[in-house]
Structure 1
């Protein structure tokens, strides 16, 4: 089968690799669509993991083979493959910190080499513990593979929205109107709150408004804080979601978030970044700082329902489609986006 093999920093090789062989409790999925995620790009662009590997984890496809012990699944079933499934019995899982579970972090879906997701290949193997514990989800007949591939990123954003306890009637500031920021806008609106977005690109400011933002501003606007206060009876945003790894965005969020509000870090910053802050700003204004990493098993089904029932318009997020052989071009497009670049999808079967 064909796969895009990571052979080193900025080195992707489109090559033939053996189709994965499955054990009695495993499933083989023919990949139809896989989303290109910022975490994939990071692993390709920086020396974080040893090659060779096959990345890709926002995967939707068709079951091509099942092991003899697999129940309730059949060849031909349309499915989502979820690469993170927790053990459900460690101390982290018992406290619902699923993304801290070692089983969760240890990726086991694979198309060969060290298991690393495997979606950037024609076929991916799903191990037994993921098959047994909810890591395969059936795609309804009226839902496309493209739409289904958004369940995993929707889960990640939904986890953050739930963690920040966003409520109807609140005002939420979303820094960055890329694919994740746009999804945050949709989810914030779905839960009855108002969304204010910022970005540097005029096209993304317009896009934020088109997907439901109540207001959208240039992130460089020196009057941003006063404009948000004017929209919130002098209070400020109830919650700020940082969808870009920018220290400037963080300090902007400090200025724009009301007393007693919350600031949530969603985007991952470079390890060398340090943000100095006077702790009295948090103490006197009672602002909560929090982080949200990856997805949550607890909201997995809700994320699927939101996508499958079209509560958010994921089709509006798709901007580019590339065949698997052009993955390197897709990565370049994501790193140097055009004004109209949002979510990029990859097609292994073309």
Structure 2
């Protein structure tokens, strides 16, 4: 089969490799579509992981083979593949910190080499632990593979929305109106809150309004805090979701978030970035700083419900589609987006035959 193998920083090689062998409790899925995620891009561009690996984890496909001990799954079923499932009994899981669980972090789907997601290949192997514990979700007939590939990123965004306790009637500032920021706007609106967005690209500001933001501004606008105050009866927003790794965005969040409000870090910052902060700002204004990483096992069913019942419009997020052989060009496009670049989807060649 064909796969995009990570051979080093900024080195992707489109190679012929063996289709993974499956054990009795494993499932083989033919990848139909896989979303290109910011975390994939970071893994390709920076020296975070030893090569060789095959990344890609926002995967939807068709079951191509099932191990002899596998129950309830058959060849031909259309499935969303979840690349991590927690153990459910360690101290982290018992505190509902599922993404900190060692099993969650270390057991993952693979197309070969060190297991790393494996979606950037024609076939991906799903380990027994993931098969047994809800890591495959059947796709309803009225849902496309493209739409289904959004279940995993929806879960990640939903976890942040829940962690920030966003509630009906609140106002939420979302910094960055790329694919994640736009999904946040849709989810915030779905849960009954008002969304305000910022971005540097005018087309993304316009897009934010088109998917449900009540207001959207250029992030460089010197009057942004005053405009936010005007929209919130002089209070400021209840929650700010940082969907871009920008020190300036954090500084704006402090200026725009009300006393007693929350600021949630969703985008991953470069490790060398350090943000100076006067602790008295947090103390006197009672601002909560929160981080949200990856998905939550508890929100898996709700994430699927939101996508499969079209409670948000994931189709509106897709801007580009690339064949797997052009993954490097897709990464380049994501790193240097045109005004019209939003979510990029990748298609293995076998899927298009």
The reply to whether TM is greater than 0.5 is yes
Give yes or no for contact 1:151–1:303 (8 Å, CA) kept in 2: yes
Determine helix, strand or coil for the equivalent of 1:130: helix
Residue aligning to 1:198: 198
Matched, 1:215 2:215: yes
CA–CA separation in structure 2 for the residues paired with 1:293 and 1:176: 17
Residue aligning to 1:272: 272
Q: Structure 2 matches for 1:148-167, cutoff 5 A?
A: 148-167=148-167
Q: Structure 2 matches for 1:1-350, cutoff 5 A?
A: 1-348=1-348, 349-350=351-352
CA shift for structure 1 position 151: 0.3
CA deviation string 1:251-288 (max 9, x = no partner): 10000000000000000000011111110000000010
Determine helix, strand or coil for the equivalent of 2:280: helix
Give yes or no for contact 1:107–1:117 (8 Å, CA) kept in 2: no
Determine helix, strand or coil for the equivalent of 1:12: strand
CA–CA separation in structure 2 for the residues paired with 1:29 and 1:183: 27
CA–CA separation in structure 2 for the residues paired with 1:212 and 1:179: 14
Determine helix, strand or coil for the equivalent of 1:301: helix
> How many corresponding residue pairs?
350
Could you list the structure 1 runs, at least 4 aligned residues long, displaced by more than 6 angstroms after superposition. Answer: none
Give yes or no for contact 2:61–2:78 (8 Å, CA) kept in 1: yes
CA shift for structure 1 position 231: 0.7
Determine helix, strand or coil for the equivalent of 1:345: strand
CA–CA separation in structure 2 for the residues paired with 1:5 and 1:272: 27
CA–CA separation in structure 2 for the residues paired with 1:12 and 1:107: 23
Determine helix, strand or coil for the equivalent of 1:181: helix
CA–CA separation in structure 2 for the residues paired with 1:214 and 1:146: 27
CA–CA separation in structure 2 for the residues paired with 1:169 and 1:49: 43
Determine helix, strand or coil for the equivalent of 2:241: strand
| Residue ranges of structure 1 left out of the alignment (5+ in a row) | none
Give yes or no for contact 1:20–1:111 (8 Å, CA) kept in 2: yes
Give yes or no for contact 2:107–2:127 (8 Å, CA) kept in 1: no
Give yes or no for contact 1:157–1:183 (8 Å, CA) kept in 2: yes
CA–CA separation in structure 1 for the residues paired with 2:106 and 2:223: 45
| Residue ranges of structure 2 left out of the alignment (5+ in a row) | none
CA–CA separation in structure 1 for the residues paired with 2:46 and 2:262: 31
CA shift for structure 1 position 108: 2.3
CA–CA separation in structure 1 for the residues paired with 2:98 and 2:78: 26
Q: TM-score, normalised by structure 1?
A: 0.99
CA–CA separation in structure 2 for the residues paired with 1:43 and 1:288: 30
CA shift for structure 1 position 84: 1.0
